[in-house]
Structure 1
Amino acid sequence: MDSPEITEAMDALRRRLVPGTRTILGIAGTPGSGKSTFATWIQQQFGPGTAVVVPMDGFHLGNAVIEGTPLRRRKGAIDTFDAGGYLSLLRRLVRRDEPVVYAPEFRRTLDEPVAASIAVPADIPLVITEGNYLLADQEPWKEVRAQLDEVWFVDTPQELRLHRLVARHVSFGMDPAAAVAWAAGPDEANALLIQATRPAADRIIPWEQELE
């Protein structure tokens, strides 16, 4: 599973975890790149009570907000997230002045974010946050990047990425034709924006696992 790039990155990450401090690691990448799987894999490399994954997807705008608007047809685009809410959460995680911070989680089975689903105690030394737009250079995303100690960009072959996307959409209820159209339409438009942020990453991580 490990590549030389992953081995080097993980060795450096372990050296960063100094007792009494917190590291916030960002995992960025295009839709279907494997961010969620990779973030979970990183978490699993550490002992209990060491790492928590806090996805950016918990800040999707709710369907009640976007239904009946042009945003509904572009769900997943950069302007369909509560960027200010995500930034506020990251600032709280950086400060570590609360016994526990609760983060939202996006439930694909509901197609909605669910509040206060992920607990992050103050003594957790590693927070891994994964999402599409961690390296975007517009406001307030610039401030999101400023809260992160490092951002790694997950690099996945295009064919594999699109295969994953279509399979994921079908598994959550889209018919195959609609899944292909969404992957080639809104998802691909978002991917082009995200791919343009790749040079700003601290590390480029090749990741070709089959499931996200």
Structure 2
Amino acid sequence: MPPLLYADLDEAAARLRRKGEEGTRQIVGLVGPPGAGKTTAAGLLSNLFGSESAVVPMDGFHLANTIIDGTPLKERKGAIDTFDVGGYLSLLERLRHNHEDVIYAPSYRRGLEEPIAASIAVPREVKFVFTEGNYLLARRGRWGEVRNYLDEAWFVETPSETRIARLIERHVAYGMEPAAAEVWANGSDETNARYIETTKAFADLIVRWG
């Protein structure tokens, strides 16, 4: 396996612009543990590329609360088996083939903590699609198929103390008590983070962030 390449966000964007000169749609996966800043990085990249780009989050494929309520999955929401990987793969396939005038993708509404169907429009002329999520480089089960649809996979690397502090702030902002937020960030979130870190070696680029 080749050595990992490191870049900041501007360098990563320049790399993508060069690839975009090939003329075909570029699908870029931003991967990283909870709180790494994937969503913010994807938003900044989309701003740089303007109307030629769209952001499609993996989080739109969270299993709905009506599915996980009353099951052990509720206490592990955000773990790899609490997502609809088949649905996500189907969307990536459609984005890759780009045969439709507009493809509609789901988003994820924090606070509500639910996916919202068909809330992101990706027109055919969009040249750069940024999809961000925790498990894009995972090899477990069908997750191993995700990489087939990505032109680039970038691992967003952030110091753990920054990442955990962000998570606690986020959980509190969306209604958790501070003590519960700290337990969740250092418990369930951190369990997922340790697994995600093991997938870093499969990235094309490590984006230093935060």
Q: TM-score range by the shorter chain?
A: over 0.9
1:202 corresponds to which letter in structure 2? Answer: D
Q: Where in structure 2 are the equivalents of 1:28-43 lying within 5 Å?
A: 28-43=31-46
Q: Where in structure 2 are the equivalents of 1:70-85 lying within 5 Å?
A: 70-85=72-87
Following the alignment from structure 2 to structure 1, what is the Cα–Cα distance between the partners of residues 9 and 69?
40
Q: Where in structure 2 are the equivalents of 1:111-122 lying within 5 Å?
A: 111-122=113-124
- TM-score, length-scaled by structure 1: 0.94
Question: Residue in 1 aligned with 2:208?
Answer: 206
> Which consecutive segments of 4 or more residues in structure 1 shift more than 4 A?
none
Following the alignment from structure 1 to structure 2, what is the Cα–Cα distance between the partners of residues 5 and 153?
11
Following the alignment from structure 2 to structure 1, what is the Cα–Cα distance between the partners of residues 125 and 22?
9
Aligned residue for 1:46, secondary structure, equals helix
Q: CA deviation at 1:4?
A: 5.4
Q: Is the 8 A contact 1:78 1:133 kept in 2?
A: yes
Question: Residue in 2 aligned with 1:173?
Answer: 175
Aligned residue for 1:45, secondary structure, equals helix
Q: CA deviation at 1:20?
A: 4.5
Aligned residue for 1:123, secondary structure, equals coil
Q: Deviations over 1:15-37 (max 9, x none)?
A: 11137420000000000000000
Unaligned runs of 5+ residues in structure 2 are: 1-5
Matching of residue 10 in structure 1 with residue 9 in structure 2: no
Following the alignment from structure 1 to structure 2, what is the Cα–Cα distance between the partners of residues 112 and 10?
31
Q: Deviations over 1:129-150 (max 9, x none)?
A: 0000000012211111110001
Aligned residue for 2:49, secondary structure, equals coil
Q: Is the 8 A contact 1:19 1:125 kept in 2?
A: no
RMSD: 1.2
1:24 corresponds to which letter in structure 2? Answer: I
2:42 corresponds to which letter in structure 1? Answer: A
Following the alignment from structure 2 to structure 1, what is the Cα–Cα distance between the partners of residues 7 and 146?
28
Matching of residue 59 in structure 1 with residue 87 in structure 2: no
Q: Is the 8 A contact 2:53 2:129 kept in 1?
A: yes
1:18 corresponds to which letter in structure 2? Answer: E
1:97 corresponds to which letter in structure 2? Answer: H
Question: Residue in 2 aligned with 1:187?
Answer: 189
1:140 corresponds to which letter in structure 2? Answer: R
- State which of 47, 54, 64 in structure 2 corresponds to 1:44: 47
Aligned pair count? 205
Question: Residue in 2 aligned with 1:129?
Answer: 131
Q: CA deviation at 1:207?
A: 0.4
- TM-score, length-scaled by structure 2: 0.95
Question: Residue in 2 aligned with 1:142?
Answer: 144
Aligned residue for 1:26, secondary structure, equals strand
Question: Residue in 2 aligned with 1:22?
Answer: 25
Following the alignment from structure 2 to structure 1, what is the Cα–Cα distance between the partners of residues 118 and 111?
17
1:73 corresponds to which letter in structure 2? Answer: E
Q: Deviations over 1:31-52 (max 9, x none)?
A: 00000000001111123x2110
Following the alignment from structure 2 to structure 1, what is the Cα–Cα distance between the partners of residues 42 and 112?
22
Q: Is the 8 A contact 2:8 2:209 kept in 1?
A: no
